[in-house]
Amino acid sequence: MGPYLLGLRLSGRRVLVVGGGRVAQRRVPALLEAGAEVTVVSPGVTPALDDLIAAGRVTWHARPYEVGDCDGAWLVQACTDDRAVNTAVAAEAEAKRVWCVRADDKDASAAWTPATGRVDEISVAVTAGGDPRRAAGIRDAVVGALRDGTVDARRNRTKPVGVALVGGGPGDPGLITVRGRQLLAQADVVVADRLAPRALLDELAPDVELIDAAKVPYGRALSQETISELLVDRARQGKFVVRLKGGDPFVFGRGGEEMIACAHAGIPVLVVPGITSAVAVPAAAGVPVTHRGVSQEFHVISVHVAPDDPKSTVDWPAMARSQGTLVLLMAVERLAKVAEALVRDGRAPETPVMVVQDGTLPTQRAVTASLSTVADRVSAAGIRPPAIVVVGDVVRVGQEVEMVRAERLP
């Protein structure tokens, strides 16, 4: 027959664990999280258990099991690698009407330890006929679905209120944070940027209001004032609003302006950081923005205006003198002027440059050149925004990796 599942509330109750090996090492932390008073009986213990004992969280009797050890226990775990010892422990527990879990024999065990997981206030426990690997796999699938909202998160009575500024990451929908995806699944309204991971929008429920806040370069755009007004308006209607952005909300994402607008209106705001494309896209192209002995600093620069534009606040001469990596966003249309300014102010014309379009997406492609040639190479290749420009010797590190890989191919 199948087991009768219960959620044991072990706070303040004694639990006996016989054995101090790897199985006990897995079981004890979960028992402690449930508030149990854990006693371990074993001649030796693993370093992880020893650490818990040293911290005073576990009582340890450094000796073999003895009859009488089960006295006063509410639950017993027989976790030794000696079948005879486990049998003796289980027999004593059975005689004293104490539930005992045997790690070595599911059929002889009076109880099974389920594979467990927790998401917020929801606990998940899975038994699969005593098969721990299968139970863990099912547990992982259920917990994952709860975390990303696949399992009807919108029916939660305590769903968030106000506005969440969610960073969607560099483009690949798999690179949004777990928290971001969870909140997206709970949204009543989603206000999405052009660079937000669009594939995630297909997962929204049919009744979710989707507002396109795309700002197309040199094309149509919803003003920032209008976007802020929409966030406040929908939140005041009692709806939970997710402002879904590409990258991170506070890295050239104007998230600070939206947060201030909501604060003035008395709307609560939750900020969920995202993986910024300034770091993720070079990584996806095999280029580290820092590398020992090459660059110990990097600068992230918005090039929405050219270096010679009066509205530019970037100290381009300082950037040219710097030995660090330069990561340029929104730079493709002004790349010739940027390269000219950097060379004029001291960067070597042969400094390597990589331009990556559609980073982390299946359409990703990259062009490598030098400062003196990059503008022409990008134009000839037809590279268009969104693209990230990386300037510095770290580009050669990526090239070195590719050369090593090529040499190892059969």
Q: What is the pLDDT of residue 152?
A: 60
Q: Which domain holds residue 123?
A: 118-148
* 122 lies in the same domain as 78: no
Active-site residue (options: 215, 233, 315, 345): 215
Q: What CATH number is attached to the domain comprising 252?
A: 3.40.1010.10
Burial class (CB in 10 A: 0-12, 13-18, 19+), 207: exposed
215 included as an active-site residue = yes
Q: What is the pLDDT of residue 123?
A: 82
**Which residues, in sequence order, are CB contacts of 263 under 8 Å at separation 6+?**
269
Phi and psi (nearest 5°) for 379?
-65, -45
Walking along the chain (410 residues) 10 residues at a time, the average pLDDT comes out as 84 96 91 94 95 94 97 96 96 97 92 82 81 86 77 64 95 91 90 87 86 68 89 96 95 94 96 96 95 94 94 95 95 95 95 96 94 96 94 92 77
pTM of the predicted structure, to 2 decimals: 0.68
What is the rounded distance in angstroms from the CA atom of residue 351 to the CA atom of residue 327? 14
Q: What CATH number is attached to the domain comprising 319?
A: 3.30.950.10
Q: What is the pLDDT of residue 154?
A: 57
Q: Are 135 and 55 in contact (CB under 8 A)?
A: no
Q: What CATH number is attached to the domain comprising 108?
A: 3.40.50.720
The answer to whether residue 142 sits within a structural domain is yes
* 285 lies in the same domain as 376: yes
End-of-domain residue from the set 272, 298, 314: 272
Q: Which pair of tokens denotes residue 180?
A: 């971001």
406: helix, coil or strand? helix
Active-site residue (options: 193, 245, 337, 358): 193
What is the rounded distance in angstroms from the CA atom of residue 289 to the CA atom of residue 279? 7
Strands (E), 274-399: 298-302, 325-329, 352-357, 365-370, 387-391
* 243 lies in the same domain as 258: yes
Phi and psi (nearest 5°) for 233?
-60, -50
* 311 lies in the same domain as 385: yes
245 included as an active-site residue = no
CA 156 remoteness from chain centre: 22
Q: What is the pLDDT of residue 410?
A: 66
Q: How many structural domains does the chain have?
A: 4
